């Protein structure tokens, strides 16, 4: 494959202010995400929320998909009432990203879920979330200060994708107050924090469908995103051969 693989990255949908006076609804993304993809040799394209019916057509044009972090998922998606500390959901984003994920898995397109993205992968598979992690683990070490990333170590399992990519305990950047509770069908937990919080999940029947609870884009460790880009490049090359 001569060209860099095209990696779609989902976006926030929120009100934003810029310039002298503009405050408008905006589809936006922290610049760290596209820079991370670019640093790993991919081409980054933003995927703002759209009609879920268009998701398959969008995915057909991609070589890989990143489900970015962001707002809490609507707990109604996994049959729960909102916790008092849960954030306001963004239904347009939830519906769009669930449709993108379904289309990507259907095509066996390489997928990386980051933070919210990992949680979305679990909910898509029928799993549930811990809506406020300090209630479960007894501390706020995964998100001690709102708006500030903190660090802790994650330990991957051996013989799985996360273990192959990370090769041992790894310090990561974290900022989340929710996490995976009951695993969805077809998923396995493949990394954990010291307190037992699930830090990575994988779909077992797909060649690259990895979710990580941390934010690799906020550090210099490119191993996770390079693995996604490599899988995207390999898949695109196979598609080109098949089409020829």
Residues recognised as catalytic? 115, 215, 217
Rounded to whole angstroms, the Cα distance separating 87 from 12 reads 14
Can you state the percent helix, strand and coil of the chain, rounding each to 5?
A: 35, 25, 40
Which residue do the tokens 């797909």 mark?
206
CA of residue 66 relative to chain centroid, distance: 6
Kindly tell me the burial class for residue 143, based on how many C-beta atoms sit within 10 Å of its own C-beta (0-12, 13-18, 19 or more).
middle
Under 8 Å between Cβ of 109 and 64:
yes
Pairing of strands 209-212, 198-203: antiparallel
Which helix (H) or strand (E) is 139 found in, with range?
A: none
* Residue 74 phi, psi dihedral angles, 5° rounding: -65, 120
């Amino acid at each position: 494959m001569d060209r860099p693989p095209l990696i779609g990255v989902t976006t926030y949908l929120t009100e934003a202010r810029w310039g002298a006076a503009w405050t408008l609804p905006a589809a936006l993304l922290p610049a760290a995400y596209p820079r991370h993809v670019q640093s790993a040799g991919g081409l980054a394209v933003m995927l703002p929320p759209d009609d879920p019916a268009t998701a398959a057509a969008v995915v057909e044009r991609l070589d890989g998909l990143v489900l970015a972090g962001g707002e809490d998922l609507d707990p109604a998606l996994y049959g729960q009432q909102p916790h008092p500390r849960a954030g306001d959901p963004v239904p347009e984003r939830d519906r769009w990203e669930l449709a993108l994920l379904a289309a990507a898995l259907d095509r066996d397109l390489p997928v990386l879920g980051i933070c919210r993205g990992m949680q979305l992968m679990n909910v898509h598979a029928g799993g549930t979330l811990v809506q406020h992690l300090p209630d479960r683990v007894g501390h706020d070490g995964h998100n001690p200060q709102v708006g500030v990333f903190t660090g802790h170590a994650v330990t991957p399992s051996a013989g799985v994708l996360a273990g192959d990519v990370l090769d041992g305990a790894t310090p990561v950047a974290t900022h989340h107050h929710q996490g995976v509770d009951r695993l969805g069908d077809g998923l396995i937990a493949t990394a954990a924090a010291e307190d037992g919080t699930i830090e990575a999940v994988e779909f077992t029947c797909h060649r690259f469908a990895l979710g990580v609870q941390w934010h690799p884009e906020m550090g210099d460790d490119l191993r996770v995103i390079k693995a996604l880009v490599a899988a995207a490049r390999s898949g695109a090359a196979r598609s080109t051969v098949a089409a020829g």
